[in-house]
Structure 1
Amino acid sequence: TEKSFCNSKGVRILCFAEKEVFAVNTAYDGLLHELQKQGAYLLNKAQTEQLVNIVLQPKKGGGHEVNKKWVGKDAARILETIGVHVPDTCRLAICEVPADHPFVLVEQMMPVLPIVRCQSFEQAVEDAVVAEHGNRHTASIFSKDVDHMTRFARVIETTIYVKNSATKAGVGIGGEGHCTMTIAGPTGEGITCAKSFCRRRCMLAEGGLRII
């Protein structure tokens, strides 16, 4: 995932990293198994709640917000705070949580990935739309069903939408397009390119040479 890509490269977690995963019941257990095979550490329920109290903090007016002290820190260092010692090769911590859990609703910017079990594709879509908060930022889907991919794209309405790859593919890392570590939002031009770093100039002749 993009979460572990950033952590493994010594780069601070980027804004287009996967914030949470909604997996349908038929794929859920297999997903957890494969993530652990790749070195992810699966938190139990008690460990998950311990971590919430460390990497998140109460927000004025209710809810939670990220504790900036832990933004972009290594998974191993974060896990040490709850007494879990893993090798430095561990790039990602994962946890099983419900759709209304703070880890799902708050953008962490750290290698802790909440995974939500969904009973159907429709439930997964509904939960994903709620978690996106209308930010129109980034989303991805893994599916062989073209109708499912199309429906999700229409309702999630994100600036970057990736099919069957990690979100980093949407910014040219292992996918098409220009490689960039940031994006222009709905008010910009989309993925940055060479033109993004140039300034347009007009030269007008009006009674004399005038540069604008």
Structure 2
Amino acid sequence: MGTLHDLTGEKSVGVIRNDEASGITEIAKPVGVVGAVVPSTNPGATPANIAMMALKGRNAIIIAPSPKGLSTSNLLLTYIHEELEKLGAPLDLVQVLPAPVNKAKTIELMKQVDFLTVTGSRNNVRLGQTSGTPNICVSEGNVVSIVDASADIQSAARKIFLSKIFDNATSCSNDNSVVIEAAVYDEMMHALQKQGGYLCNQIEKEQLQDALWMNGKRNPETVAKDPAVIAEAASLQNPQAEKASFFMVEETGVGEQYPFSGEKLAVVLTIYKAKDFNDAIQITKGILSYHGRGHSCGLHTSTEKHIEQIGLEMDVCRLLINQVQVAGNGGSFDNGLNFTLSMGGGTWAGNNTCDNLSYKHFLNITKVARLIPEVVPPEEELWGSYWKKYGRH
């Protein structure tokens, strides 16, 4: 609904802008055949959104799902073709790579399309960006939210809970870690437990780690699973664990030796205690430097100067204040971000864009420039302040 709302009434065909003052007329044209590589964790909504955006600019699109997501993407395709048929439009405007879907076929698609977008793992994004095809590729996330001493604790706990459990934590925008100021740490932990969070002790944390990672790699058998499945896989015998909505582990370190500091794709929330707000920022920077730099973070606060400080200091393209991160990163009816399921992380993430992917990325623009009355700026306007300070030579 949000993506459709963003598209409705927007010009994307022919003359889309005419500025008489500058003499510039903008004419929108298709980029051509779009290749869209989509993640296994979101094989339905992500290609649906990208297809809407691509079609808005009169492009064709070929979706490349992961092998695990092929059946879902094919089901989506049947729905799309039903609608195209009603309109009398060519069904081949939207296609899905035929089975068997594999890495070689996806790489070949990357090379042959006119324009490419890749949403997903670091490896897939790297392949897209080195394919030689013009592209907008966006990386994975690892959202960190800070809760400072001035936050509305109950509201923050509720929003973090909603963000953590959405779609069993398969989104790049689910909260993965929370950094809490020491002054409200106990209160916040209690509030998170009231929301259904189960705090693992040290032994249970080790059991959970063994269930989530095997030989240093994420165990696919515990990705996107219900809490009860994870509790069983980790042999968490406590009845409260078996009934939990999500799990919490306390952590102090960051990096490969501390796998809970990265993106987990599981209903597991990593908790850090910060001495104060400055310490919270440093901890968050460390987490994002390890995994997720550029994507996003959140802040729960009622202190305006903290919003300004984190905005200036944090290397992220999205900073959400007092919001459900997973619901707001990709646009929301109560914030000003455009709706999408593909979010750029800027140069921090090795991406070409900081933006939320939109239909505008699927347009070529011809700028027609007409002559206008010449306006040459006087030298004083350009160098006056410099001359005043350093003298004119």
Letter in 2 for 1:24: E
Distance 1:157 1:179 in 2: 21
2:353 is matched with 188
**Which among 275, 288, 292 is matched to residue 119 of structure 1?**
275
Q: 1:126 to 1:4 in 2, by over 3 A?
A: same
2:196 is matched with 39
1:94 is matched with 248
1:6 is matched with 167
Q: 85-94 or 36-45: which moved more?
A: 85-94
The answer to whether the 8 Å contact 1:103/1:114 transfers is no
Shift of 1:181: 2.3
The answer to whether the 8 Å contact 2:231/2:242 transfers is no
Structure 1 residue ranges (4+ consecutive) displaced by more than 6 angstroms after TM superposition:
none
Distance 1:47 1:89 in 2: 15
2:339 corresponds to 1:179: yes
Shift of 1:104: 4.1
Shift of 1:81: 1.7
Distance 1:132 1:91 in 2: 25
Tell me the alpha carbon deviations over residues 112-164 of structure 1, each in whole angstroms, 9 at most, x when there is no partner.
00111111111111111010017211100111111112211222210111111
**3-state SS in 1 of match to 2:297:** strand
The answer to whether the 8 Å contact 1:70/1:78 transfers is yes
Distance 2:332 2:246 in 1: 19
Tell me the alpha carbon deviations over residues 70-129 of structure 1, each in whole angstroms, 9 at most, x when there is no partner.
222222211112333568874311122223372443221211001111111111111110
**3-state SS in 1 of match to 2:281:** helix
1:69 is matched with 221
Distance 1:67 1:174 in 2: 36
Tell me the alpha carbon deviations over residues 43-89 of structure 1, each in whole angstroms, 9 at most, x when there is no partner.
11210111112202344xxxxx4323322222221111233356887
Unmatched runs of 5 consecutive residues or more in structure 2? 1-159, 347-351, 369-393
The answer to whether the 8 Å contact 2:207/2:235 transfers is no
Higher normalized helix content (fraction of residues): 2
2:324 is matched with 166
TM-score, length basis structure 1: 0.79
Distance 2:343 2:203 in 1: 36
Q: 1:171 to 1:74 in 2, by over 3 A?
A: same
Shift of 1:182: 2.5
Letter in 1 for 2:340: T
1:210 is matched with none
Distance 2:242 2:364 in 1: 47
Shift of 1:195: 3.1
Q: 14-23 or 99-108: which moved more?
A: 99-108
Shift of 1:30: 1.4
**Which among 158, 173, 190 is matched to residue 16 of structure 1?**
173
The answer to whether the 8 Å contact 1:23/1:115 transfers is yes
2:314 corresponds to 1:156: yes
2:299 corresponds to 1:138: no
Shift of 1:179: 2.8
Q: 1:57 to 1:152 in 2, by over 3 A?
A: farther
**3-state SS in 1 of match to 2:364:** coil
Q: 1:91 to 1:167 in 2, by over 3 A?
A: same
Distance 2:340 2:318 in 1: 12
The answer to whether the 8 Å contact 1:94/1:112 transfers is yes
Letter in 2 for 1:146: E
